[in-house]
Structure 1
Amino acid sequence: MSGFDCWGQTRHRLHHYYGQPLFESFGHIHPDDKSLLTEAYQQIVSSFRPCEPSPGAVVCGFKFGSLIHIGTVELIDGKLEILHTSRRKGPSIDSIDDFKRLFKEVKFYEYVG
């Protein structure tokens, strides 16, 4: 899973592991451009609905209304965990509580088409 940014990894997991459509790549957006990331999120969020954490759900971390980071909820060893990645650390798995501590607001979504 190395080499992906957070959206690329999420997009890959949703498509290849959860059978969702292959969502737009947004590869033209630099991961540090939170304004454009937030605009991209707003373009696709209508295909999702808020949900509780469950395997295959998308998790979005926000600070002051801007999308900062995104990942997927995974069932690992019987526990719900967050799979996400960054350019500095590469792929990471964190508990939901640890992920929530990183952001002012965290939202979970499921794909509805």
Structure 2
Amino acid sequence: MVGHVKAVLLVGLLVLGGCGREAGTTSDGGTSAGNPTDLVVIAGTVVDDAGRPVEGALVQPRSLDEPPLAVPELAVMSGPDGRYEWRLAAGRYEFTALKGERTGVPAEVVAAPGTVDAAREVPLRLP
């Protein structure tokens, strides 16, 4: 009986592991998650209103796809030169920079399939 339960659990895990979303285009023209190798590098610089780089700003992406795509980390920090970089699955995202009580204007980006490893520049302004 124990062997039978283990076999059923193993089959269930294999079935769940095989479930996933296919690559494609959503009804509103956005993209959906596909092959995990379809990663796009999204990079940019966080700057203040005077155009100076902002070090230590939290940069957070939010998936705009339905259902939302998983984001591997909650946030990354901008470096001394204000630069940040994310490697994300193809899809639609909104990026926001935060530091202390300041929150920047969100920037929307479409990380399109077929642009694997092509860096997309998304500048963020933090007042």
Task: Please say which structure displays the higher CA radius of gyration.
Answer: 2
TM-score range, shorter chain: under 0.3
**What TM-score does the superposition give when structure 2 sets the normalisation length?**
0.24
**What TM-score does the superposition give when structure 1 sets the normalisation length?**
0.26
